[in-house]
Every structure is written in C-alpha cells, then in structure tokens.
Amino acid sequence: MQVIQELEREQIKPDVPDCGPGDTVRVHVRVSEGGKERVQVFEGTVIARQHGSVRESIIVRKLSHGVGVERTFLLHSPKIDKIEVTRRGLVRRAKLYYLRGKVGKATRIKERRER
C-alpha cells in the first residue's frame, strides 16, 4: 500500500489552491486541438469538491447563454494550467447541488470575509 501512496504523491501538485464549495473560480485549462495548444478559461461557482489524492476534483457550474453548464476538473491533472479564486463564498453545506434547480437571484451566495 505504501508503494501506491508513493506513486500517487509523485503526481500530486503542491500548489493546488484552497478552493471549496461556494467559491468562484477561474480554471485555466490547456486545450490541444490540431497539434496546437492554447489555454481556455472556465469561470463559475464550485458546487462540490470530491475524492482525494490524485483523483481530487471540483465541479464548477456556470450559466452560459441561459443554460447551466457544469464541468468537472481534476485538480492534479497536468491539463489544468492554474486555478484562480476570485471570490470566497459563505455556504453551510459541502455540496451545493440545490443550485441546479435555481436561477437568478436564488443562486446568489454570500461572500465570506476574513475577520
């Protein structure tokens, strides 16, 4: 078992930002199309952070042209260039799946202010 942990540790990024449910993030993803590589930005609210070790991921939700879009990002994936946290949210649960059924004002999240 120790060997497996060692192998996983080699791939874990040391600089994964502390981002959790309620936070608004900008995820920079490396996209390669036609042999070229460019960086695409996906901005939205983190509605869940799940799994652990190399499999750790976040689900980011945003509204695109009135349609809800959710993407799962593996935090330790080499395809992720960087993750910026633009806003901290104050929420009382770990999974914000209730946001899926809501639009507009109902999807607001209180901002968390460090005291």
Binding residues for another protein, per CB under 8 A? Answer: 1, 3-4, 7-8, 11, 30, 54-55, 74, 76-79
Closer residue to another protein (CB): 30 or 95? 30
Q: In angstroms, what CA-CA distances link 24 with 12, 35, 42, 45, 111?
A: 23, 31, 10, 4, 10
Other beta carbons within 10 Å of 76: 17
C-alpha 84/C-alpha 104 separation (Å) is 24
Gyration radius (Cα) of the chain, Å: 16
87-to-43, 44, 112 alpha-carbon distances in Å: 11, 10, 8
Q: How far is the CB of 66 from another protein (least distance, A)?
A: 31
Nearer to another protein, 62 or 76 (CB): 76
Q: Would strands 80-87 and 24-33 be described as parallel, antiparallel, or unpaired?
A: antiparallel
Closer residue to another protein in complex, CB, 52/101: 52
Tell me how far, at minimum, the Cβ of 53 lies from another protein, in Å: 8
Q: Which is nearer to another protein, 79 or 102 (CB)?
A: 79
The least distance separating another protein from the CB of residue 5, rounded to whole angstroms, comes to: 9
Q: Tell me the closest approach of the beta carbon of residue 43 to another protein, in angstroms.
A: 21
